[in-house]
Amino acid sequence: MLVKDIMSRSVKTVSADTRMFEVVSQMCLYRYSGLPVVGDNDELVGMIAEKDVLHYLFPTLEDLMGNIAAINLDEMMDKYQDVVKLKVEEIMHPKVITVDPDMHIMKATSIMVKHRFRRIPVADGNTLVGMMSLGDVHKAIYQANISKMI
């Protein structure tokens, strides 16, 4: 079974110049953990994830090397107001790991497991063509095996 057989083709994307306020709103309202960042003609140029947003709030190494007890956690949370003013390109990951639509789902899943991804962009060259999740894989394997189990 190939990735193209189980991937989602309807993918919500954002552009590099999208304001983070719009992105975090979508993440919270629609429970997206991450969104592909695309340029012209659906060219995949990056990924923006919740962990990127939250990482922006963490103390720096210098903060941690000093008196960690003096770090004001509420002030750290207040940095969120700074994050939402940024553009996606300022905090996205520009190097994206993808899978090919003609790749076997088990090979694609091994890439996901290796990188601890729950979902991965599917690209034909540099063009985003879909997303595949662990849930998509599990459902496909279940459906392929259910008749053998009954």
Question: Cα separations (Å) of 130 from 48, 66, 111?
Answer: 16, 45, 16
Q: By the 8 A CB rule, do 37 and 44 touch? A: yes
Least confident residue range of 35-39, 72-76, 141-145: 72-76
Domain ranges of the chain: 3-149
Mean pLDDT of the chain: 91
Each residue of 52-81: pLDDT tens digit? Answer: 998 888 766 666 666 666 677 788 788 889
> Can you tell me which residue has the tokens 């076997």?
104
Helix ranges (DSSP H) in 7-149: 20-30, 50-55, 61-65, 73-78, 80-83, 105-115, 134-149
Q: Which of 86, 79, 103 is nearest to 48 (CA)?
A: 86
> Residue 99: its pLDDT value, please?
98
**Would you state the CATH architecture of domain 3-149?**
Roll (3.10)
pLDDT the model gives residue 145: 95
pLDDT of 60 reads: 66
The pLDDT value recorded for residue 100 is 98
pLDDT top residue among 60 and 136: 136
Question: Strand (E) positions, 39-112?
Answer: 44-49
pLDDT tens figures, 6-31: 999 999 999 999 999 999 999 999 99
Separation of alpha carbons 137 and 6, rounded Å: 7
- Give the predicted TM-score (pTM) of the model: 0.85
User: What pLDDT score does 68 carry?
Assistant: 62
Calpha distance 21→55 (Å, rounded)? 16
